[in-house]
Amino acid sequence: MEVRVQEQALDPWRELAAGRQPLDGSFGGTAIFVGTMRDFNQGQGVERMTLEHYPGMTERYLREVCDEAAGRWELVDSLLVHRVGSVRPGDAIVLVAVWAVHRDAAFAACRFIIDELKSRAPFWKQEQTATGLRWVAPEGPIDSGTGR
């Protein structure tokens, strides 16, 4: 399991092409989620966003989420990379990749990790809109049936 929070640009496809996945035939399914910044939110255009976090605390929480996923599903490995700092529409913000013995476990664990991250991870988001800066409230718990 690898967890990383970084300010530099995130290229999720390069991360995956770097050979991070296990190569021993121990997994039967891989699930990948890439979160990208939209150019709109809450009915307004968004020009950029700044993501803040507390170093150490954020990484520890993300590791706990990945550990919980590994305890709930038969996982072989996982990768979670999250951007902080200034991002623009179209920039990748987060990569979650999960390798599991079976595809159902890979899908379920990947969704669990991103849903936990979106609803509870200690990140603070400030958006720049045409009318100025605004803080974005964290999303509430995710309904796994609707994804909202």
pLDDT average, residue stretch 61-67: 97
In this prediction, residue 7 has a pLDDT band, given cuts at 50, 70 and 90, of very high
In this prediction, residue 25 has a pLDDT band, given cuts at 50, 70 and 90, of confident
In this prediction, residue 52 has a pLDDT band, given cuts at 50, 70 and 90, of very high
Helix 57-72 and helix 103-120, axial crossing angle in degrees, nearest 10: 150
Q: Which one, of 60, 84, 77, lies nearest residue 16 by Cα?
A: 77
Domain ranges of the chain: 2-20+27-134
Q: Which one, of 88, 93, 94, 92, lies nearest residue 46 by Cα?
A: 88
% of the chain residues with pLDDT over 70 = 90
In this prediction, residue 143 has a pLDDT band, given cuts at 50, 70 and 90, of low
pLDDT at 127: 94
pLDDT average, residue stretch 82-86: 98
pLDDT tens-digit profile of 124-142? 999 999 999 999 987 755 5
For the domain made up of 2-20+27-134, the CATH class stated in words is alpha beta
The answer to which of 1-10, 18-27, 105-114 has the lowest mean pLDDT is 18-27
pLDDT average, residue stretch 11-24: 82
Tokens standing for 49? 């966003």
Identify whether the C-beta of residue 104 lies closer than 8 Å to the C-beta of residue 115: no
